[in-house]
Structure 1
């Protein structure tokens, strides 16, 4: 092809000997010298400008700090190096401190001491800086920073930070503070001390657009911080933090080993302000929206608190509610879930003084702000689950001690279960009576399980009302001991139906039950150091409509119930109850029945307390019906028995000569030994009549009525039976 031929010819011609070409004219080398001169000039400029610029910048920085602070602060920079080629600057040995002499106008600025090992600035947009446009900077790093600030500066400009810049804006790739230590406050012990810490801000955009960006934390796209050691002194307390870490990218805040120490020890005496002692090994807050937090909106997914040990003394006055405390600082406060594991709690300043171990808490749907009074919410949460291990408390302090081994409560199911409940006196029968200055039952209670179902948790939390479907007490063991040598309680008893209806809170329990209870009663009379003993075994109680709510408690819908058990474990008994708890007269009805048993089972109580023994006699059946109110017990008793003989005893519980005579008279004149006297004859009924002493409980009135009916049915005249039943 022609173009191929032409190319081959050109190649051949290029290989011709050079001697065949015409001689070249001589060249001048002035261009090389020009390039060399320009290079030397650039080198001199590159070396000379920094040599002159660095000292000038250092002096300018120091002068500007003094000028703008009106002589209040002095800045010293040990070294400053700039690189125009790299658009960077590095400063070493910065010292900023309050001047010993300053103008009066600058005294409003707080005392400050600052030491910075190294400050590095890289990637500065010099042209934009000169033109006062938005400046781009790759990174700023502050290393080995120590700051002591006596007080917070007084802000003189309400304008945001980006409007205070001398140029249009600043876009910073990264701002890092490493190895930072700081103290805040005056005095030898500063109120705030910050240990080894670090802070990294990514993509900081100081501009109006950056401030308005809802995805930024302040002006930064991402924030990460670490603290190793911090101490804060607040009124009455000192707070210490061993370690903390936060990242807006992972949206997690972690605190390790938080300690709160009160200046005054935790005590049972209430103080003007709340006193708290806290040891918190670990706290993790996940899903924290830091961008919203910077806009006074707290939103997070989960707060986990591990093994907190909290003790506190309640203040003399009730503090404001949580939403009232947060209102000035937060517009919104929401948390999806809260979990506390392995906690310990002790509360002083309460009569109960509770102390709980192995506390487990779980809450969901927590919303404190904006405050909405949702009827189904419980202490700002939709639901709570609570578990505890062993717990202790004072009951009627200092006379009784209350404890349990475990508690479980779940507001979602309305279930509360308490296991191994103990209520024990802290002193002897005599010491208890002396402490109360009158006779008082020395009661010991042991309950394997208490189960509350259908509990309305929102009503309990928000309305202080106890509403539940059922309350079950399983296999309680109750022991009561009394000493008749002390004076009678001068106060009106609160253990009565009318007092139950006047409780200062509403309650409504559809079903109440006690299963397989055992009751042991002991009474020491003044006449005999040997106490009288009575027991009720296999006791079961069932009550319905136990409430003081006027909508549920009426004459047509009263409290009803029945109880069954065995007296002295030998005589079966059954009692039914009907009562209107809102009847101011305390009117109620009691009916009952006792099965076959030897009457001698009563001797363990009668002999030491009354000086009377039942020598013989057998009960076939006893029935009674009583109407009771605030004044008396009235009714009828039907007692079927045979072979009744009594024995009067002396102080030594023996039948003396006179007591034998008295026994013969009583058995011959007053006592009806058989009822009915003969088979086929009508049964002689007994009249129940006994006046009420309001210092005694309603159970004493029940006993008085049965005693008067038994005595009268056995032949004792009604007046004498009434008087004997009312004897203390």
Structure 2
């Protein structure tokens, strides 16, 4: 008998692992079903998307997807070779457009949130190589859906949170009935953390739902109707709060067509940079805010409108309610105003504006701002223009100003006539002097820039002209001017703006007067040198009263030898133009007047010594009167005659007889040998066609002639005489 127990037989393997085979079978079936679903999902989804586009556009557009692949485990979908094409005939309610893209990738989609109708998270959406062409706008467009984007999401989703949106290498072309409207050669766009929900729309820190944007554009062109715009490159980033535009060009779309009163521009701007740009405030609050805006080397030609435009803040009202810019700067600019008679052109413009604010408050008079800025500091290079075009080309070599400190400085001013006096007389049909002016420096101090900007009124504390050079040339051939002169004291009353210059100084000036009379072709000259003086209270405001009128004085030298001093007092608001003047001339030889007397009056001083001349005069709209006290000795005149054959002025038998008669009549000295002092009386009628300077000259001539013995009536007549003759022929000197 054996000690070992019999062994128990084991269970069959098929019974022990039968449940595992069932599990493997179920998993295989599920895997097979999933595989079949995945195999048929992509074609089904591709067909579904293409069919949905056709249904939503009522057969007007067709979407073709070259390839569609889904990845359920990663929650992503990739579409390749997308094409959107219009039907042969598109309804007038839809635009006619074409679109194509190489690839559209959506990854990290929260399918569970889609199933539960919650805010769906999406990791990224990328669109590569988009080509978009708008061929025609609808003639009867339907009203667009007024709801915001987050309320128009598909599947009725309450929102979408997109981690990254990327558009790479996009192109756009837009036209309307074969007329080009816009073109974008290349665009790259990146947006981070887009929250397409009501909260994202209300978040004032977000721009267009996104926490950050980065946009790069290249080769942009746009037709705005009156103007066309081209931008070589554009870059915008909310992270760096910057906007950069390069190679900006703007020009009239149809320059040959009439403007019909509208403004036109031609702009070439190499670069524009904006920093500290708060773009989200613009979207949510309609408030443009930036730290700085810089325009590099802009070149602008401007055709002004026929009617004054509305204020800047009104023109910008459709885009924004307010704009704030800490600093705006123009560097090395160029500006020209076309279609203006003055044809002004400014070069080398440098301009800095601080504290710029544009809205109705800043644009109101009395805001204390100058053109919306707290302060402007500027300079320029050469400025050119033309007065009485085309007669007087003018230029300024340099301009500097500061509105906060209230000063303006102009350097090397020049006004040069293009025509000689004889030619100018022929052009206008009457006698008209030509003026050439050069000023080394013109300084304005205490300028009230806010009043100048608000009311166009000129208030200046002090104006100084350094080393002015004035050249006046006249030709006595031709009729007298038919127009009244504006260079008169009473003309200040007719100004349409307020003018108040507290003090005007002239330092080290020179004046040359040249006159060609009909008697001889030789021009007479008269020079004033070392000229300086001051005028006080040159104003048409409340500062100008009978008790506080304009006053002034001037000191200079006639022919650089005879010292002269003149004083003036005039109430500029007097409708009768009344004013007074007084002064004196120092010791001099009378022969210094021969360069003017001999060519123009065919007479000269052979001798004569002046010790002193004192005069007083009173002028108004009718005449000038006064007295002249002249101390002189050994006065001798010589009458001569111009000989055309010899082209010189010489003696004749007749002039010798006239010389003897003149010297017999005039007083050769004053006081007389017996000690009696003779005072000359000034009396001369005022001609309204001549300036007040001509009136003063008439008074001096009248008093001078009377003081040397010419009868008063004859002296008055001689002082009022004006040369008239036929206009000079073409080419005459």
Asked if the contact 1:323/1:371 (under 8 Å) is kept, the reply is no
Q: Which residue of 2 aligns with 1:644?
A: 635
Give the one of 61, 65, 69 matched to 1:73: 61
Aligned to 2:669: 674
Q: Find the aligned partners of 1:265 and 1:159 in 2 and give their Cα distance.
A: 41
* CA-CA distance at 1:271 after TM superposition: 5.0
Q: Does 1:223 align with 2:209?
A: no
Q: 2:115 aligns with which of 103, 106, 130?
A: 130
Q: Which residue of the partner structure matches residue 480 of structure 1?
A: 472
Quote the Cα distance in structure 2 between the aligned partners of 1:228 and 1:592. 73
| Contact residue 620 and residue 641 of structure 1 kept, 8 A | yes
What pairs with 1:140-219 in structure 2 (closer than 5 Å)? 140-149=125-134, 150-151=136-137, 154-165=142-153, 166-219=156-209
Instruction: Indicate if the aligned counterparts of 2:671 and 2:677 stay in contact, CA closer than 8 A.
Output: yes
SS in 2 for 1:476: strand
Of 626, 630, 650 in structure 2, the residue corresponding to residue 654 of structure 1 is 650
1:194–1:229 Cα contact (<8 Å) kept = yes
Partner of 1:300: 290
* Contact 1:687 1:709 (8 Å CA) reproduced: yes
| Residue 552 of structure 2: aligned partner | 561
Match of 2:3 in 1: none
Alignment of 1:293-442 (within 5 A): 293-295=282-284, 296-372=286-362, 373=364, 374-442=366-434
CA contact (8 A) 1:266 1:311 kept: no
Structure 1's 107 and 693: CA in aligned 2 closer, same or farther, altered over 3 A? Answer: closer
Which range moves more in the overlay, 644-653 or 135-144?
Answer: 644-653
Q: Tell me by how many angstroms 1:631 deviates.
A: 0.6
Q: Aligned to 1:637, what secondary structure does the other structure show?
A: strand
Structure 1 residue 33 displacement after superposition: 3.5
Say whether 1:614 aligns with 2:605.
Answer: yes
Equivalent-residue separation in structure 2 for 1:195 and 1:59 (angstroms)? 32
Report the equivalent of 1:625.
Answer: 616
Match of 1:641, SS? Answer: strand
Q: 2:713 aligns with which of 707, 714, 719?
A: 719
Q: Return the alpha-carbon distance in structure 2 between the equivalents of residues 195 and 388 of structure 1.
A: 37
Q: Which residue pairs with 2:695 in the alignment?
A: 701
Q: What per-residue deviation string (whole Å, max 9, x for no partner) do you get for residues 252-306 of structure 1?
A: 1100101112234499x97522221111100011111111122332111111000
Alpha carbons 2:174, 2:181 under 8 Å: kept: yes
CA shift in 2, pair 1:650/1:24, >3 Å: farther
**Distance across 2 between alignment mates of 1:643 and 1:70:** 115
Q: Which position in structure 2 is the counterpart of 1:534?
A: 526
Q: TM-score, normalised by structure 2?
A: 0.93
| Conserved? CA contact 1:266–1:276, under 8 Å | no
What secondary structure, in the 3-state scheme, does the structure 2 residue paired with 1:664 have? helix
What does residue 96 of structure 1 align with? 84
**Unaligned ranges ≥5, structure 1:** 1-21
> Kindly tell me: are residues 376 and 584 of structure 1, through their superposed partners in 2, closer, same or farther at Cα, counting changes over 3 Å?
same
Residue equivalent to 1:8: none
Aligned counterpart, 1:516:
508
C-alpha distance in structure 1 between counterparts of 2:27 and 2:318, whole Å: 66
Which 5+ residue runs of structure 2 have no aligned equivalent?
1-6, 644-648, 723-733
Question: In 2, are the aligned partners of 1:282 and 1:307 still within 8 Å (CA)?
Answer: yes
TM-score (norm 1): 0.93
SS of the residue corresponding to residue 416 of structure 2 reads strand
Pairing 1:519-598 to 2, within 5 Å after superposition: 519-549=511-541, 551-598=542-589
Aligned to 1:10: none
Corresponding position of 1:82: 70
CA distance in 2, matches of 1:617, 1:587: 34
User: Match for 1:683 among 670, 677, 680?
Assistant: 677
Worse overlay, 531-540 or 372-381? 372-381
Q: Is the 8 A contact 1:266 1:348 kept in 2?
A: no
What is the Cα deviation at residue 637 of structure 1? Answer: 0.5
Aligned to 2:727: none
Shift in Å at residue 65 of structure 1?
Answer: 1.0
Report the Cα distance in structure 1 between the residues aligned to 2:425 and 2:597, rounded to whole angstroms. Answer: 23
Q: Residues of 1 paired with 2:108 and 2:143: CA distance?
A: 31
CA separation in 2, counterparts of 1:107 and 1:588? 79
Find the aligned partners of 1:417 and 1:156 in 2 and give their Cα distance: 57
2: CA distance between counterparts of 1:711 and 1:663?
Answer: 16
Q: Give the whole-Å Cα distance in 2 for the aligned partners of 1:370 and 1:208.
A: 32
Q: CA RMSD in A?
A: 1.8
Contact 1:270 1:314 in 2 (8 A): no
1: CA distance between counterparts of 2:632 and 2:256?
64
CA distance in 1, matches of 2:256, 2:489: 40
SS at match of 2:642: coil
Greater RCO (CA < 8 Å, at least 6 residues apart): 2
Q: Distance in 2 between matches of 1:370 and 1:411?
A: 21
Alpha carbons of structure 1 residues 32 and 709: separation in structure 2 relative to 1, 3 Å: same
CA contact (8 A) 1:266 1:275 kept: no
2:51 counterpart of 1:60: no
Task: Give the superposition deviation at 1:32.
Answer: 4.8
SS of the residue corresponding to residue 190 of structure 1 reads strand
- 1:289 matches 2:278: yes
Give the equivalent residue in structure 2 for 1:18: none
Q: Do the aligned partners of 1:333 and 1:369 also contact (CA within 8 Å) in 2?
A: yes
Shift of 1:311: 0.9
Contact kept? 1:55, 1:80, Cα under 8 Å: yes
CA contact (8 A) 1:562 1:574 kept: yes
Q: Compare 353-362 and 328-337 and name the one that shifted more.
A: 328-337
Aligned residue in 2 for 1:12: none
Given that 2:361 and 2:367 are in contact with CA atoms closer than 8 Å, whether structure 1 keeps it comes out as no
Cross-structure match for 1:3: none
Q: Distance in 2 between matches of 1:107 and 1:73?
A: 13
Cα deviation, residue 24, structure 1 = 11
Deviations 1:331-356 (Å, cap 9, x if unpaired)? 22222210000111111122221111
* Aligned equivalents of 1:120, 1:46: Cα separation in 2: 23
Cα deviation, residue 463, structure 1: 0.7
Question: Residue deviations 1:136-167, cap 9 Å, x none?
Answer: 11111111101112338644322211112211
Q: Deviations over 1:518-537 (max 9, x none)?
A: 10010000000001110000
1:370 to 1:65, Cα distance in 2 relative to 1, 3 A: farther
| Post-superposition offset of 1:240 | 0.9
In structure 2, C-alpha distance between the alignment counterparts of 1:265 and 1:543, rounded to whole Å: 49
SS of 1:191's equivalent in the other structure is strand
Deviation at 1:45, TM superposition (A): 3.8
